[in-house]
Amino acid sequence: MIKNIIKKRKSYIVIIGGLSIVGLTAFNDGRGMHHQKRSLTDTTKIPAKYGFGRVVTQQEIDKWDIDVRPDGKGLPAGEGDAAKGKAIYALKCMACHGATGEEVPGVKLPAPALVGDTAAKSKPKTIGNYWPYATTLFDYTRRTMPYNLPGSLTDNEVYSLTAYLLSANKIIKPETVLNAQTLPLIVMPARKLYIMDDRKGGPEVK
């Protein structure tokens, strides 16, 4: 009697163990198939195009490709002088940079001062004592000003504003006409303060 009971229990144990093995195998196989299917599904769902954007035109590229280099390369045709620049300054720049572009004691302007002494250690930093190249003043003004409508100035307006600011900083004479030929010839007082970075490897600070 006891022997029969032991035999039956062994049979149950063998059956349960077998079912467990079969179940685990099926579970693992299912997970593997699931991962395999999901991987294949993800791959096949990647679209050839997402429908965003469009091909930029050469005309649009040219509109943004307007950089002017320190040697003057990139300067456009046109010209301007300080008298015209002063009128443009009053209309489009004075609200942020003040009536003359100079720092006024006790007055906090929305934008930095532009006009000041050309001495190397004078403050605040302005075009006169801190800007190394006159040509890049043109580039910066054309690209970023006026603050509320950058890129809206014509090339003649930018030449005139550049002339006015350089004249106000006593770097050029008021009657000087600036264009693509005359602007690169101006040597800014602060240029000598800058060191050309011609390193090839070595320490980070020259």
Q: Domain range holding 127?
A: 76-193
Determine the Cα–Cα distance for residues 88 and 152; give it in Å rounded to an integer.
Answer: 12
Domain presence at residue 124: yes
Which of the 8 DSSP states describes residue 80? Answer: E
Within a domain: residue 17?
no
- The whole model's pTM is what? 0.71
- Per-residue pLDDT in tens (0 to 9) along the chain, 206 residues: 555 555 555 555 545 545 454 444 444 444 444 445 555 556 667 777 888 889 999 999 988 899 999 999 999 999 999 999 999 999 999 999 999 999 999 999 999 999 999 998 888 999 999 999 999 999 999 999 999 999 999 999 999 999 999 999 999 999 999 999 999 999 999 999 998 888 888 776 66
Q: Compute how many other C-beta atoms are within 10 angstroms of the C-beta atom of residue 193.
A: 12
pLDDT the model gives residue 197: 80
pLDDT of residue 33: 47
Q: Which residues contact 86 (CB under 8 A, 6 or more apart)?
A: 164
Radius of gyration of the chain (CA): 37
> What local confidence, expressed as pLDDT, does residue 98 receive?
96
If one counts the domains in the chain, the total is 1
Q: How much is the pLDDT for 5?
A: 52
Asked if residue 126 belongs to a domain, the reply is: yes
Neighbours of 165 (CB within 10 A): 28
CATH number of 151's domain: 1.10.760.10
Structure tokens at 132: 């190394």
Residue 42, domain member (yes or no): no
Query: In this structure, how many other beta carbons lie within 10 angstroms of the beta carbon of residue 36?
Result: 10
- Strand, helix or coil at 185? helix
Look at residue 126 in the predicted model and tell me its pLDDT: 96
